[in-house]
Amino acid sequence: MDDLETQLQRFFPRLEPALRAELLQEATLKDLPEGEFIIRTGQYLKSSILLLNGLLKVYRQDEEGHEFLLYFLEPGHACALSMLCAVREEQSEISAQAVTPAQVLLVPMHVAERWLTKYPSWHMFVIGTYRERFEELLQTLDAVAFTSLDERLLFYLRKNQQFKGNQLRISHQQIAMELNSSREVISRLLKKLEQRGVLTLHRNFIELHQPA
């Protein structure tokens, strides 16, 4: 794996060299195994979260444990909702969990606020992060309102394939929870995708075929 400085240059190329140097000094590097939470609902946040490696899912969860997937976070991006909660000193209303093994940088909020006036590239990065996450939230709302569940399911599977490979060891129940559906409906849609040649269902995993 590349060293941290190389990763910063690769995934955050628009940040000034001086800012990347401060990131190395001020931020804390944290490794997340698959399934670990970096944010939990109700948690108070003191840092902004930048993703270096892996894939995170950001979602809402109700009192009964039903999940609503908001967006995925990929390398080179930051969690805008974590920034908002940290700035406003409010409890988080979302959870963020590692879909794959991941690496994140935790930037203390007082440092991130100082950079807003010190580094123009950080100011633009924060604004861009808010804009991108807002656009993704709109896409999620559009998908729920105007897109069929089978299309949402296929997008979900392809996103996981991008980071996990063709063999997804994920249960029908877990997919149903993340897409706010039922296991029976998801199983039926997966069977239809199998009939279309998109995937093959095995006992313990789903094998996705490459798109034509």
Q: In which residue ranges of the chain is pLDDT below 70?
A: 1-2, 65, 143-146, 212
What is the pLDDT, as a whole number, of residue 1? 44
Considering Cα of 185, then 191, then 196, then 201, what sign does the dihedral take?
positive
- Looking up tokens 């897109």, which residue turns up? 147
Element of type H or E holding 131: helix 120-146
Q: Give yes or no: residues 140 and 159 share one domain.
A: no
What is the pLDDT, as a whole number, of residue 178? 83
What is the pLDDT, as a whole number, of residue 111? 93
Q: Give yes or no: residues 100 and 156 share one domain.
A: no
Range of the domain at 93: 4-145
What is the pLDDT, as a whole number, of residue 145? 64
Element of type H or E holding 110: helix 109-118
Q: Give yes or no: residues 66 and 99 share one domain.
A: yes
Q: Give yes or no: residues 157 and 121 share one domain.
A: no
Residue that terminates a domain, selected from 130, 145, 160 = 145
Q: Give yes or no: residues 140 and 45 share one domain.
A: yes
Q: What is the CATH number of the domain that holds 8?
A: 2.60.120.10
- Looking up tokens 């940290």, which residue turns up? 86
Predicted TM-score (pTM) of this structure: 0.72
What is the pLDDT, as a whole number, of residue 69? 81
Q: How many independent structural domains does the chain possess?
A: 2
Give, in order, the Cα–Cα distances in Å from 103 to each of 22, 50, 165.
18, 9, 18
Q: Give yes or no: residues 132 and 162 share one domain.
A: no
